[in-house]
Amino acid sequence: MQYFVSVIDDKSNPGSTDRRPAISEFNERLIAGGHWVFAGGLADPDAATVIDNRGERPVFSDGPFVESKEYLAGVWVWEAPDLDVALALAAEASKVCDRKLEVRPFQ
């Protein structure tokens, strides 16, 4: 089963900044263990554009979808046999990237 892992940052209490070497090492372990599917970091929410094409014309708005002190800073997609394995990986990943994580299975 695949899991979507959201990396959550906090504007008022950001995690440590240079975690890239540790995250790269963790990603190598994910690859070696057969769990790696995808990972990517995201630009700050201020760089976002929201598109709403539910009306007659698309509307493009600058900035994040919602104003919040917490925001999505990056994502992983993992392959794991069950939720327990995904949560164990997430506990390790949270420590490695010094951020909160949210784990959700794909339908």
Q: Are 103 and 3 in contact (CB under 8 A)?
A: yes
Task: Provide the token pair at 100.
Answer: 């909160």
Domains of the chain, each with CATH number or no CATH: 2-44+71-105 (3.30.70.1060)
Predicted structure pTM score: 0.88
Q: Model confidence over 43-85: pLDDT tens digits?
A: 888 899 999 999 999 999 997 777 788 899 999 999 999 999 9
Q: Model confidence over 4-33: pLDDT tens digits?
A: 999 999 876 666 668 889 999 999 999 999
Query: How are beta strands 70-79 and 2-10 bridged, if at all?
Result: antiparallel
